[in-house]
Structure 1
């Protein structure tokens, strides 16, 4: 059964989430205090509602507790973000993802029950910086404070070797979860799989171990 989503706050971040979910054919309710924004998304989202999310009666009236996942994407109004998250938690929404403006905001959101807190500007900045800092890393996604998943281009140093020859798991504590080879995607590659020059390795592991491995392939 498909999950249904509600997005509160239709700024750049919330609007992007709303469009992406809608494009995937997922039911999504769009909510904002700004009538112009709501009108913009009325043809994109399954439903679009003008409403103040800090008013519990408004959230109850639109049946917010019936949604599987609510994203609080409110922009600069930290107070409204916190109050909205608190009300959603008290109403029993199963999963709440909230956008944070800073570390203090994140701490408060987590304390009042947000299941996931995101820093879109900070996270994108880190991702871009990691891409620019290395010739071999194509993409980077932080999974936790110490673990990431990266796309690394295989160069001549490792091309022509099998995964078991390189012994990446033992030497670096990393796992190659997939290999992109042109249009082909090899998921969970076997130990005997030969890595080709210019293959893109999708690697997961500790950041320090990824750095050590990256130095080998640069």
Structure 2
């Protein structure tokens, strides 16, 4: 399991750290405010009080190139930019940074952020997508217009097998797994003879416009 390092433990950062930790990640939670770090003591693998904009501290912590590093400094563009530069110099391959708006996003991408998240923008997209395709429960955007989505099967799918439905030829989507909403059990790569129940959630990959057609 790769290590996730979350720097900045406000609402955004602390919730990411908590969610990753609860899902089995080794999480290092860092903030320069002691009270923020204390709050995460039982919700992370390590909780450290430190000013992460100091490159020597990053080296002491032992951040590795394969770590996932999430930077959540809110409006402080100078701190986010400096930290991103340090992480890039340390060879970190995955640097995810929170930004308040597009101007900050462009600057952070220029200095080495691999992904920049504008929370309000992302939430607006999710709300809009949920209205456009109500049965798409969640999604993860990939490159070139592809997404991985959790989709509640429409009524016409219930009681049928994947062999009956021909999802790949009809919708150009691939089912990666099935999650039972009642037990939360996951079945990876279900067989063609798998019969879909109304409690099943389909985890699919495909182009966003094709996934929306699953309704």
TM-score under structure 1 length normalisation: 0.78
- CA shift at 1:204, angstroms? 1.7
Within 5 Å, give how 1:75-86 maps onto structure 2: 75-86=74-85
Unaligned ranges ≥5, structure 2: none
CA contact (8 A) 1:149 1:202 kept: yes
Aligned residues: 213
Residue 193 of structure 1 aligns to a residue whose secondary structure is coil
- Correspondence for 2:187: 186
- Correspondence for 2:36: 37
Unaligned ranges ≥5, structure 1: none
- CA shift at 1:174, angstroms? 0.9
Within 5 Å, give how 1:1-218 maps onto structure 2: 2-23=1-22, 26-64=25-63, 68-144=67-143, 146-181=145-180, 182-183=182-183, 185-197=186-198, 199-211=200-212, 213-214=213-214, 217=215
* Whole-angstrom distance in 2 between the partners of 1:200 and 1:31: 35
- CA shift at 1:173, angstroms? 0.9
* Whole-angstrom distance in 2 between the partners of 1:151 and 1:112: 34
- CA RMSD for the aligned pairs? 2.9
- CA shift at 1:77, angstroms? 0.7
Residue 157 of structure 2 aligns to a residue whose secondary structure is coil
Deviates more, 1:81-90 or 1:183-192: 183-192
Residue 156 of structure 2 aligns to a residue whose secondary structure is coil
CA contact (8 A) 1:146 1:206 kept: yes
Q: Closer, same or farther in 2 for the Cα pair 1:190/1:102, shift >3 Å? A: same
Report Cα offsets for 1:36-61 as digits up to 9, x if no partner.
Answer: 32333345444433333333344344
Deviates more, 1:165-174 or 1:90-99: 90-99
Deviates more, 1:9-18 or 1:38-47: 38-47
- Please identify the structure whose Cα radius of gyration is greater: 1
CA contact (8 A) 2:65 2:90 kept: no
Q: Closer, same or farther in 2 for the Cα pair 1:180/1:53, shift >3 Å? A: closer
